[in-house]
Amino acid sequence: MAGRVIVVTSGKGGVGKTTTTANLGAGLASLGRRVCLVDADIGLRNLDVVMGLENRIVYDLVEVVEGHARLRNALIKDKRLDGLFLLPAAQTREKDAVTPEQMKALCAQLAEEFDYVLVDSPAGIEHGFRNAIAGATEAIIVTTPEVAAVRDADRITGLLEAHELSNPRLIINRIRPQMVRRGDMLDIDDVIEILAIDLLGIVPDDESIIVATNKGEPVVLGGNTRAAQAYRNIVRRIEGEEVPFMQLEEEGWLSRLRSLVGFGRKQRGA
Amino acid sequence: MQGKEAVVFKGNRGGVSVQVDRDAPLGAVVDELRRKLSAAENFFQGASVRIELGERPPDPVEQRVLRELIQAHGLSVVDDTGATPPRAVNGHVPRPHADGAGGGARGQAGPAIGGGALAPERGGHDGAGEPCLLVRRTLRSGQRLEFDGSVVVLGDINPGAVVVASGNVVVFGSLRGVVHAGARGDTDARVIALRLQPTQLRIAHLISRSPDGQVPGPSGPEMALVQDERIQIEAYVP
By C-alpha distance, the chain B residue nearest A80 is: B212
Is a pLDDT exceeding 50 seen at residue B90?
no
Is a pLDDT exceeding 70 seen at residue B111?
no
- Assign A26 a pLDDT band (cuts: 50, 70, 90): very high
Residue A79 has its nearest CB partner, among B144, B199, B212, at B212
DSSP code per residue over chain B: --S--SEEEEEETTEEEEEE-SS--HHHHHHHHHHHHHHTTTTTTT-EEEEE-TTSPP-HHHHHHHHHHHHHTT-EEE--S-SPPP-S-TTB---S---TTTTT--SSPPTTS-SS--PPP--GGG-TTS-EEEE-SPBPTT-EEEESSEEEESS-B-TT-EEEESS-EEEEEEE-SEEEESTTT-TT--EEEEEE--SEEEETTEEEE--SS--PPPSS-EEEEEETTEEEEEE---
**A58 min Cα distance to partner chain B (Å):** 9
**A186 min Cα distance to partner chain B (Å):** 36
Is a pLDDT exceeding 80 seen at residue A257?
no
Contact (CB, 8 A) for A157 and A191: no
Q: B134: which residues sit within 8 A by CB, 6+ positions away?
A: B91, B92, B93, B152, B154
Q: CB distance A91–B212 less than 8 Å?
A: no
The Cα-based distances of B119 to A68, A180, B184 in angstroms read 21, 67, 8
- Predicted local confidence at residue B32, as pLDDT: 82
Opening angle at CA B187, ends B185 and B189, nearest 5:
100
From chain A, the residues in CB contact with B231 under 8 A are none
**Longest Cα pair distance anywhere in chain A, in angstroms?**
57
The 10s digit of each residue's pLDDT in B116-160 is: 333 344 444 455 678 999 999 999 999 999 999 999 999 999 999
Average pLDDT, chain B: 75
Least confident of A152-166, A188-202, A219-233, B7-21: B7-21
From chain B, the residues in CB contact with A77 under 8 A are none
By C-alpha distance, the chain A residue nearest B207 is: A58
Q: Which residues of B touch A (CB under 8 A)?
A: 39, 141-144, 159-160, 162, 199-200, 207, 209-210, 212
Count CB neighbours of A94 within 10 A: 15
- Predicted local confidence at residue B238, as pLDDT: 83
Q: Does A55 touch chain B (CB under 8 A)?
A: yes
Q: CB distance A92–B207 less than 8 Å?
A: no
Q: Tally the residues of chain A.
A: 270
**B203 min Cα distance to partner chain A (Å):** 13
**A43 min Cα distance to partner chain B (Å):** 6
Is a pLDDT exceeding 80 seen at residue A149?
yes
Contact (CB, 8 A) for A51 and A218: yes
Mean pLDDT along residues B83-102: 35
Q: What span, in angstroms and rounded, lies between the C-alpha atoms of B169 and B69?
A: 30
Is a pLDDT exceeding 60 seen at residue B219?
yes
- Assign A234 a pLDDT band (cuts: 50, 70, 90): very high
Of B9, B85, B17, B68, the closest CA to residue B40 belongs to B9
Is a pLDDT exceeding 60 seen at residue B201?
yes
- Grouping H, G, I as helix, E, B as strand and the rest as coil, residue A170 is strand
Alpha-helical regions (H) of A32-146: 47-50, 61-65, 71-74, 100-113, 127-134
- Assign A185 a pLDDT band (cuts: 50, 70, 90): confident
Count CB neighbours of B69 within 10 A: 17
- Assign B105 a pLDDT band (cuts: 50, 70, 90): very low
Q: Is A76 exposed, middle or buried (0-12, 13-18, 19+ CB in 10 A)?
A: buried
Q: CB distance A58–B162 less than 8 Å?
A: no
Is a pLDDT exceeding 60 seen at residue A270?
no
- Assign B211 a pLDDT band (cuts: 50, 70, 90): confident
Count CB neighbours of A252 within 10 A: 8
Residue A159 host element (H or E): helix A147-162
How, if at all, do strands B230-235 and A116-120 pair?
unpaired
